[in-house]
Amino acid sequence: MVTDKRIRLFVGGENDIELGQHLVRTGRYTVTDSRARDAIQKLLGGLKLYDVALIPNWMRSAVVEAVRLKVPTIEVLRRGADIEGSLYALSGGRPIASKLVCVEKGQFDLVSARFPGKAVFIENAVLGPKEIARSNRTVDQIKKSVGVGPGVKLLFSLCRPHESKRLERLVSLAAELCERGWRGRFKIVVAGHRPERTLEVFLKHAFSEDVEERKVVGAIELVDRQPAGDLLSVADIYVQTSGYESFGKSMLEAFKFGVPSVVTPVGVLAGSPLALEWNVLDYADRIVEYMEDHRLAMEHGRRVQAWSAGRFDTATMVKAYDTLIRSVLRR
């Protein structure tokens, strides 16, 4: 039974941790997430301490334990999730107050067919220009901080350190643009959550496509993750060359800012005409078009911003999860 007492919620997974932070701000929840001191070591015995658990599908041990303890559980199925390995498949039909959340419509249709009445569709949220962190620095100060001087185009990419981000493609792109005579007139700036880890991944894979380091010196740089709003607010073009994204949050943040974007068709942009299949020549062609034709670039920026407007809204997402959590607890 739901009372006025704060709901004790366990969340796991990067996207769900952020959701938990939004729920705390409503004043109706206390949240423990997978970064907490004992969340991983004591997870299996600790789930029974919570009123409800919000668990991503890939945290299989936690899902199994939730079934065993009959903890009211919401399992989040992201793109590519193992539907047959879901909570309902694992529970063997035993009664448990739970729901499966799908973050893409096509997946919702598949899960609904497999588990009638058990799935809900809640679209992930993306922070917009008024919500995302920004500093009080001027445009020149922001660009100078990442080594971009006057008249130099800033090509920005924001990603967490992982091989799926295909950072070596950015190196190939930088080399191609330099070959076309753009050296010194652009700079690709890559910002990550943990720059030392991003650098490790970058150096390990960057030159796997026979691109010599000397060809891109000064044309590409990795920086720590400054307030994302700063770099998005001054970027001339947003570039992302990922081979896989479960959602594509960074790309959609650029869309919300209206930044002209050249991105791969992954995550929610799979099959979208707003994205471009990776090919270094095609990417270089598109980027040169945007660097040479400001009006064309701005037109694309307005187009992606219009597409994202009214979607991926934080308040809508938080309200939907709050309603779902409360309905699960009432059962």
Amino acid at 106: G
On whether both 117 and 155 belong to a single domain, the answer is no
Domain range for 248: 139-308
Domain count along the chain: 2
pLDDT tens-digit map of 128-175:
888 787 888 899 999 998 889 999 999 999 877 677 888 888 888 998
Residue 291 lies in a domain: yes
pLDDT tens-digit map of 14-42:
677 888 889 999 999 998 876 654 554 55
On whether both 87 and 159 belong to a single domain, the answer is no
Contacts of 34 (CB under 8 A, 6+ apart): 11, 12, 13, 17, 40, 43, 59
How many whole angstroms separate alpha carbon 286 and alpha carbon 276?
Answer: 9
On whether both 171 and 284 belong to a single domain, the answer is yes
Q: Cα–Cα distances in Å, from 152 out to 213, 273, 292?
A: 21, 28, 12
Which of 92-96, 222-226, 289-293 is the least confident region?
92-96
pLDDT tens-digit map of 201-235:
565 555 555 556 666 777 888 777 666 789 999 99
Which of 78-82, 150-154, 205-209, 302-306 is the least confident region?
205-209
pLDDT tens-digit map of 39-55:
545 555 677 888 988 88
Residue 1 lies in a domain: no
Burial 117-155 (b: 16+ CB within 10 A, else e): eebbebbbbbbbeeebebeebeeeebbeebebeeeebbb
On whether both 179 and 206 belong to a single domain, the answer is yes
**Residue 68, helix vs strand vs coil:** helix
Amino acid at 255: F
Residue 133 lies in a domain: no
Residue 130 lies in a domain: no
For 180, list phi and psi in degrees, rounded to 5: -85, 10
On whether both 210 and 196 belong to a single domain, the answer is yes
Q: Using the predicted structure, report yes or no on whether residue 246 has a pLDDT greater than 60.
A: yes
On whether both 150 and 167 belong to a single domain, the answer is yes
H and E: helices and strands count for the chain: 13, 11
Residue 132 lies in a domain: no
8 Å CB contact between 231 and 158: yes
8 Å CB contact between 327 and 1: no
On whether both 292 and 211 belong to a single domain, the answer is yes
User: In CATH, what number is assigned to the domain containing residue 155?
Assistant: 3.40.50.2000
On whether both 235 and 324 belong to a single domain, the answer is no
On whether both 106 and 153 belong to a single domain, the answer is no
On whether both 300 and 257 belong to a single domain, the answer is yes
More confident residue, 185 or 147: 185
pLDDT at 56: 84
On whether both 190 and 276 belong to a single domain, the answer is yes
8 Å CB contact between 35 and 17: yes
Residue with the two structure tokens 């400001």:
294
Q: What confidence category does residue 1 fall into, taking pLDDT thresholds of 50, 70 and 90?
A: very low
On whether both 267 and 220 belong to a single domain, the answer is yes
Bridge partners of 33, per DSSP, are: 11
